[in-house]
Amino acid sequence: AQSVTQLGSHVSVSEGALVLLRCNYSSSVPPYLFWYVQYPNQGLQLLLKYTSAATLVKGINGFEAEFKKSETSFHLTKPSAHMSDAAEYFCAVGGTSYGKLTFGQGTILTVHP
Amino acid sequence: DGGITQSPKYLFRKEGQNVTLSCEQNLNHDAMYWYRQDPGQGLRLIYYSQIVNDFQKGDIAEGYSVSREKKESFPLTVTSAQKNPTAFYLCASSLPGQGFQETQYFGPGTRLLVL
């Protein structure tokens, strides 16, 4: 079985500050890992994904994530937060069953002026 | 433009009523999925389909039914057996060719409310 834990259901940062959203996973097989973003009352949009090609993955809107096997982590970062980054972020893991993903509970990011 | 459409955006259900949520995609994807989203619980898989005329139960299939008669369409019926249907429902699709690292693409969602 696979599982995902997102540490912190709410994260608040100031505009221009570092964004760090934490994700730890559990998987019995080499995982494929994803970060999605959701704006209010909308669907999910893919930010980035890890598929074993490189441990540091760059995504859209200046976000990146680093796969650390020893720590079973895939934390999402952005050097400088923008007001438009305020949204809910989901980490997801796949790789054990054709096309299926297991999602974390989400982290709501608030950006203060 | 290619994408996934869901309708309606809002849906109201009366007690004892079955309602159907529509999901259509023009991405030529073989696989389609239905998720339920509740606050603080992330997304939970209801049903998924890898090819036409085939589908499998997800983690919370009780009280729901689906059909997959066409590649483009994967409607979800919320039956009267689902006692707590109020939620945000998301449909997704993905290509089969990339195997386990498939990216799922999501529709805009349908919010179901009980009258």
The model's pLDDT over A80-96, given as tens digits with 9 standing for 90+, comes to: 999 999 999 999 998 76
CA gap A77, A91 in Å, rounded = 13
pLDDT in the model for residue A97: 66
Lowest average pLDDT, out of A8-12, A28-32, B16-20, B75-79, goes to: A28-32
A43–B100 C-beta distance less than 8 A: no
Virtual CA dihedral for B76, B82, B87, B92, nearest 10 degrees? -30
As a dihedral over the C-alpha atoms of residue A23, residue A29, residue A31, residue A32, rounded to 10 degrees, the angle is -150
Predicted pLDDT of residue A12: 98
By Cβ distance, the residue of B6, B94, B108 closest to A99 is B94
b/e burial code for range A37-66 (CB count within 10 A of at least 16 → b): bbeeebbbebbbbbbeeeeebebeeebbbe
In the prediction, which pLDDT does A109 show?
A: 97
Give the separation between CA B73 and CA B83, rounded to whole angstroms.
26
Mutate to test the interface with B, among A6, A27, A98, A102 (most CBs of B within 10 A): A98
Residue A111 · residue A83 · CB < 8 Å: yes
pLDDT(A10) > 90: yes
Contact B33 A99 (CB under 8 A): yes
Cβ proximity of B88 and B108 under 8 Å: no
Q: What is the structure's pLDDT at A64?
A: 97
Confidence of residue B1 (pLDDT cuts 50, 70, 90): low
Contact residues, chain A, for B94 at CB < 8 Å: 99
Share of chain A above pLDDT 70, in %: 96
Question: In the prediction, which pLDDT does A110 show?
Answer: 97
- Sign of torsion, CA B91 B95 B101 B105? negative
User: CB of A77 within 8 A of CB of A94?
Assistant: no
* Interchain contact, A43 vs B108, CB within 8 Å: yes
Q: Give me chain B's average pLDDT, please.
A: 91
A62 in B contact zone (CB under 8 Å): no
Residue B73, chain A, CB below 8 Å: the answer is: no
**Residue A90: predicted pLDDT:** 97
Question: Greater confidence, B101 or B32?
Answer: B32
User: pLDDT by residue (tens digit) across A23-77?
Assistant: 999 988 788 899 999 999 899 999 999 987 788 999 999 999 999 999 999 999 9
- CA–CA min distance B18, chain A (Å): 23
Q: Per residue in A94-113, pLDDT tens? A: 876 666 789 999 999 999 99
User: What does the pLDDT look like over B46-90, one tens digit per residue?
Assistant: 999 988 999 999 999 999 999 999 999 999 999 998 889 999 999
The answer to whether the CB atoms of B100 and A103 lie below 8 A apart is: no
3-state SS, residue B46: strand
Q: Is A96 on the interface with B (CB under 8 A)?
A: yes
Flag if A96 and B100 touch (Cβ within 8 Å). yes
The residue behind tokens 């669907």 is A43
Statement: residue B98 has pLDDT above 60: no
Above 90 in pLDDT, residue B45? yes
pLDDT over 90 at A20, yes or no: yes
How close does chain B come to A43, measured CA to CA in Å? 4
- How much is the pLDDT for B111? 95
Query: Which residue, chain included where needed, has tokens 């959203």?
Result: A21
